[in-house]
Structure 1
Amino acid sequence: MYFDFAHATFADLDQAPEAPALRDAQRQISWAALRDATAAWKLRAQAAGISAGDALVISGHKQIEFVVAMLGCLELGVAYVPVDSINPAERLQRITDLVRARCCYDAAQDAFSAGAASPEPLAEADLAYVMFTSGSTGEPKGVQIGRDSVALFAGWIGDCLGLGERPVFMNQMLFSFDFSLFDLCGALALGGQCVLCPRETIAAPDDFVRYLADSRVQVWASTPSFVRQQFLNDTFDQAHLPDLRVFVFGAESLSAQMAEQLWARFPEARIINSYGPTEATCSTTWVEILPPLDGSARPLSIGRAKPYAELFLEDGELCIAGDHVMRGYLNRPDLTAQSLFLHNGKRAYRSGDLAAIDADGLVYFHGRRDDQIKLHGYRIELGEVDAALASLPGIRAAASVALRRPDGTLVRMIGFVETANSLPPAILGPLPASLADWKQQLATQVPSYMIPSELLACGLFPTTASDKIDRKRLEALYFDARKQRTKETA
């Protein structure tokens, strides 16, 4: 049995119905049980008043019920809106209001609840999901992805990657992070198993490895940063994970050095690198990384275009065309007009990513045009972080800066606030007493991955010639202050 994403239904019902389909920290269910659970969930959703063309906000973490709800939405023609429980209640409510959802479904509680005060069907037809990303103005942006786009993506996994029959996928990325669709679509489209890995399991490295080994996970998809964390655990290797044979990377730059470290742990593993913004249904390029490599920290190619995608450059900016491109931003025609255009009769998206394409069609990523970053796999607009920081008491202005390693990979995010105290211009100092619990205050507005690791007060912010906050100067001030502290404690 498998899930046919092109027709949004379970198929080959008599083929291995008792084979495992989903596992979470609590239980494992078969394909037959998954089909039955989805059918039962659909009846409950319809009884709650949900129908085709609606949006349904699904909250939770790594529960089997979350997946059941997503499949139920696809079968009903309802667009699902995934929101992980890491988000504060205020953000969940804001997203519910933005999509004007009639209902919400809490996967952890397996319960439906009322949605927006004035619910409305979505204006765009045949959407699979609406996924919210960080917005540069402080408002999250809803990316609308069509059902046909998801079908193309699932088909690519089956047609191009050669993962074999009924592969077992690890799924550790949040369902509100579109890269998690790789594991889910791959497992379900190929009749395999998706092993859901909650935060609590991952937090105990030895238990995490045992969980993966017991599940016989074969395919690992994550950011390079997540694998870098696993290198701290000596049991993260082929001896302890003998079934693990394919690593798929995305959302961040992958270096030759990183690939070689991974091969040292898993000598026979295949390594696949990929790239693609949420607006292009998870990924647009892919390439299999093959030895020998030079061991450098320079990023590797992010791959070639998929069969259904076209890539081209406009003034160095990577543009993506094809039926997998989004239908636009929810209720934001202004943003849609800035990002989408027609190219050879297909929707095309201006990615904001700077890139180069060589004679063989290999794409090399060279950074962002704007202030959007990807930190530990999460896409973050620094502007949204700035807006949250600026809402703290006694703050006149705020700015955030992403610190990078020499190879360009992001390490952490630092926040700066301009306060009403007497600090001289462009001088860093301690936070006022009102901000002693700034992390707790910020956690009521944004998810934890958008909270800077450190916050410093500054006199009047330095600015550029165009009167914008000079983030590079703030970064330099931070490093100067850190050097000074090191000297004083030496």
Structure 2
Amino acid sequence: IGHAFNQQAQRHPQKVAVELDDQCLTYSELFIYVQRLSMCMGHRQNQIICQCIERSIEMVIGQLAILSCGAAYCALSPDDPPTRLHALVTQVGAEVVLVHSKTSAKFDDMFQGHLIDVGLINSHTDYSTNNFGTDHSLRYDSSPDNLAYVVFTSGSTGTPKAVPITHRNFVACMTSFEQLGILTAMDVVIQVAPSSFDVHVKECIGTLMLGSSLVLLHAQGHLDINYLSKTIQQHNVTFFCIVPSHMTILSNYLAEQSEYSRLRSVRKFGFLGEAIIPKTLATIIAHVDKNAVAIYNLYGPAECTLTSVYHRVTMNDIEQGSIPIGKPLISNRCVVVDQFSQPTLIDQPGELLIGGAGVFPGYLGQQHFTEKVLVEIHGTQFYRTGDIARVDRKGLLHYIGRKDHQVKLHGQRIELGEIEQCLLDSSSHVSGAVVVKYNDDHLVAYVQSDRSAEIELREHCRSRLPPFMIPSVFIVLDQFPLNSNGKLDRKRLPTPDFSSAYNRTADAPQSPLQKQVHALWCQILQRESDQISITASFFSIGGHSLLLMQLYHRYVTVFELDANTLTIGQLFQHSTIVDHARFIQLALHKPEHGNDSWVSLHLNE
């Protein structure tokens, strides 16, 4: 991968490599920054280096520098609590973590290795004094079977699984994308996926490896639908990859505002992470030139390198309301097997197995899990996805569901067992825990305990789990319902009642601003005014990330704010009406501040 980026920088040094709002670096400029940071870290062959950085140009520089010094890149989400970050760093044995000013404090107390502030590479720091490594020459000597990156997936036993991907895996996937015309050097790619998604590696490193141009969003910018759509328009983005539920929110917004022209430059849409919504596709097709636009359904578990199966969606697919996941990439093979591990007949459901160049070498430090998911068939290694699928008469794969309790929530893969184990660890009084997906937008936790309270359970989860894994509702029961065999009867678990959090009518809005915010909550959540307390969390009364995106847009419109004065990240972290009113009040009186910019090196070709 490092060689590929180096070659792109040599072929077209003055081509735009990465942009963020009004900041821009060419390939040659980006290469110089990568070289500086790589020299700072020294030779790190076969090590894993973690990076915890908000969306920024520093994020991309850090990714490439890690690969350039021979190490594997491991992304950490800045949204995760410090306890979880420390556990993940320990799990992969990282001795170096790249940070910037906004994330370094998360590692102050627990991390004993080297913290490197990537922001310093934009200064005139003399890196010769930073002897973190012994060899300061820039090398690209990784072999194809060396690790390129590590991504974490949810683990059913309570510990996340570390999925390593090799250079061979990654290059094979990106080469397939290029050969199929899905992503090429001619594209301008927008980086939407958060770092908890392996797709962000394709969007950043894959884009630059192929010689395309990368457009970044500022922190939490992917959740600001107005900013996101304007950025696509301003930078003439041609390749746009997004989770279907996220696209539905964006599509509805653009249609309501009569601003679908903002997507006019997009030539390729990629949908991944969950089932495509045909109604949303129909809306897209109605507003774009269908003869000039390609829509792809992209499927693939992290263990098989980003994307294993693809399908170019047709008008017939949309009209029928059934979108196949398609056929394997050039470098992959797929087979659907029955309970006896024999290939199924046409349209007969079975477990989907994926083989070929994308299959990972096995979980780091968890050989027992590796043995369960990797199987050899006629000399080829296959990964057992746990997904139930079928093959139609055209040879196209169709996704049906899961064979276990793993779920997808807004594109995020979640093992419910990890949340359940976290709850069991919260107190000696918790004797049982069950987490279920409710509708399409919520996780509900059932806890068997005689003393635990919801607030304690929620705080415990917040300190150990990423935000997308924290249940919306916690229901404490003295005893779980059992069937005649003495096992948990899931069907008899009580239905969550989100209105139970609304009964504190004493917590009514006080100030005129709180009343305005309260009214907007009632509209978004579709609740009566006496059902929402000003001290209740948005996420505990039926709200979720997609609804918060809509609420944020209402705030910006009603109060005439912008992303420089009120960020959606603030609303995520502080989620009551009292909090939101306070942030809006501050935003209304906040002077605008310019962003730090990158100094152009003005390199000549």
2:188 is aligned to 168
Displacement of 1:403 after TM fit?
2.2
Return 160-169 or 355-364, whichever deviates more. Answer: 160-169
Residues 455, 126 of structure 1: CA spacing in aligned structure 2 closer, same or farther, 3 A cutoff? same
- Aligned: 1:72 with 2:72: no
Whether 1:396 and 2:437 are equivalent positions in the alignment is no
Does the 8 Å contact 1:285/1:305 carry over to 2? yes
Equivalents in 2 of 1:90, 1:415: separation in Å? 21
Q: What letter matches 1:334 in structure 2?
A: H
Q: Is the 8 A contact 1:399 1:415 kept in 2?
A: yes
Q: Which stretch of structure 1 is more off in the superposition, 354-363 or 160-169?
A: 160-169
Q: Aligned to 1:307, which of 322, 326, 330?
A: 330
Work out whether 1:95 is the aligned partner of 2:88: yes
User: Shift in Å at residue 277 of structure 1?
Assistant: 0.2
Say if 2:261 is the partner of 1:239: yes
- The whole-number CA distance in structure 2 between the counterparts of 1:467 and 1:259 is 46
Match of 2:151 in 1: 131
Q: Distance in 2 between matches of 1:258 and 1:94?
A: 39
Partner of 2:48: 55
1:158 to 163, 175, 178: 178
2: CA distance, partners of 1:322 / 1:471: 39
Structure 1 pair 291–143 and aligned structure 2 pair: CA distance change class (3 A): same
Given that 2:473 and 2:496 are in contact with CA atoms closer than 8 Å, whether structure 1 keeps it comes out as: no
> 1:373 — aligned with what?
407
Select which of 166, 187, 209 maps to 1:146: 166
Q: Which one has a bigger Cα radius of gyration?
A: 2
- In the superposition, relative to structure 1, how do residues 73 and 164 fare at CA in structure 2: closer, same or farther (>3 Å)? closer
Name the SS for the 1:145 alignment partner: strand
Whether contact under 8 Å (1:399, 1:469) holds in the other structure is: no
Q: State which drifts further: 309-318 or 6-15.
A: 6-15
**Residue 354 (structure 1) shift:** 0.7
User: Matched residues in 2 for 1:151 and 1:465: separation?
Assistant: 53
1:273 paired residue among 261, 285, 297: 297
Shift of 1:218: 1.3
Answer yes or no: is the 8 Å Cα contact 1:174–1:180 preserved in 2. yes
2:353 to 319, 344, 356: 319
What is the alpha-carbon distance in structure 2 between the residues aligned to residue 163 and residue 125 of structure 1? Answer: 24
Alignment of 1:292-303 (within 5 A): 292-293=316-317, 295=319, 299-303=322-326
- The answer on 1:358 being equivalent to 2:396 is no
Counterpart in the other structure of 1:285: 309
Match of 2:36 among 18, 37, 40: 40
Partner of 2:492: 473
Cα 1:86–1:356, aligned 2, differ >3 Å: closer, same or farther? same
The alpha-carbon deviation at position 164 of structure 1 amounts to: 5.3
- Shift, 1:357, TM fit: 1.3
Q: Output one character per residue of 1:399-430: Cα deviation in whole Å (capped at 9) or x when no partner.
A: 111123xxxxx322112222205xxxxxxxxx
TM-aligned CA distance change 1:108 to 1:183, over 3 Å:
farther
Separation in structure 2 between the aligned mates of residue 415 and residue 203 of structure 1, nearest angstrom = 26
8 Å contact from structure 1 (residues 237, 265) kept in 2 = no
AA aligned to 1:261 is T
User: Contact 2:154–2:413 at 8 Å: present in 1 too?
Assistant: yes
Aligned to 2:277: 255
Q: 1: CA distance between counterparts of 2:28 and 2:490?
A: 54
Give 2:594's aligned residue: none
| TM-score (normalised: structure 1) | 0.85
Deviates more, 1:64-73 or 1:218-227: 64-73
Task: Indicate which of 179, 192, 196 corresponds to 2:212.
Answer: 192
Q: Supply the AA of the counterpart residue of 1:395.
A: V
Unaligned runs of 5+ in 1: 405-409, 422-431
Does the Cα contact within 8 Å between 1:251 and 1:377 map onto a contact in 2? Answer: yes
Q: Which of 106, 109, 112 is 2:99 aligned to?
A: 106
- Aligned equivalents of 2:311, 2:12: Cα separation in 1: 32
Cα 1:203–1:223 shift into 2, 3 Å: closer
Per the TM alignment, residue 75 of structure 1 is displaced from its structure 2 partner at its CA by 2.4
Closer/same/farther in 2, CA of residues 41 and 344 from structure 1, 3 Å limit: farther
- Structure 1 segment 421-460 matched on structure 2, within 5 A: 434-436=453-455, 438-460=457-479
Deviations 1:150-197 (A, max 9, x none): 001111121102555431111111223112233224421332212222
Higher mean Cα deviation, 372-381 or 459-468?
459-468
Deviation at 1:257, TM superposition (A): 2.5
TM-score (norm 2): 0.70
Aligned mates of 2:353, 2:15 — CA distance in 1: 41
Distance in 1 (CA, whole Å) between partners of 2:150 and 2:165 is 6
The structural deviation recorded for 1:435 is 2.9
Within 5 A, what are the aligned runs for 1:3-42? 5=1, 7-24=3-20, 27-42=23-38
The equivalent position to 2:480 in structure 1, one of 451, 454, 461, is 461
Partner amino acid for 1:335? Answer: F
- 1:198–1:469 Cα change, 3 Å: farther
Deviations 1:33-85 (A, max 9, x none): 11111111110111xxx510111111123122222222122222211111111
The unaligned stretches of length 5 or more in structure 2 are 115-143, 339-349, 504-526, 532-605
- The secondary structure found in structure 1 opposite 2:261 is coil
Name 1:329's counterpart in structure 2. 363
Q: Over residues 239-258 of structure 1, what are the superposed CA-to-partner deviations in whole Å (9 max), with x where a residue is unaligned?
A: 12321221101110113323
CA contact (8 A) 2:354 2:385 kept: yes
Cα 1:412–1:161 change in 2 (3 A) is farther
SS at match of 1:10: helix
Report the Cα distance in structure 1 between the residues aligned to 2:271 and 2:258, rounded to whole angstroms. 17
**Is contact 1:223-1:249 (8 Å) kept?**
yes
Deviation at 1:214, TM superposition (A): 1.5
Are the structure 2 counterparts of residues 259 and 280 from structure 1 closer, same or farther at C-alpha, using a change threshold of 3 Å?
A: same
Q: List per-residue Cα deviations over 1:353-391 (Å, max 9, x = no partner).
A: 111012322111111111111111111100111122333
CA contact (8 A) 1:34 1:68 kept: yes
Give 1 or 2: higher helix fraction: 2
- C-alpha distance in 2 between matches for 1:230 and 1:236: 12
Cα shift at 1:101: 1.1
The amino acid across from 2:466 in the alignment is: P
Between the two proteins, what is the percent identity of the paired residues? 25
Higher strand fraction: Structure 1 or Structure 2?
1
Task: Provide the residue aligned with 1:427 in structure 2.
Answer: none
Contact kept? 1:304, 1:363, Cα under 8 Å: yes
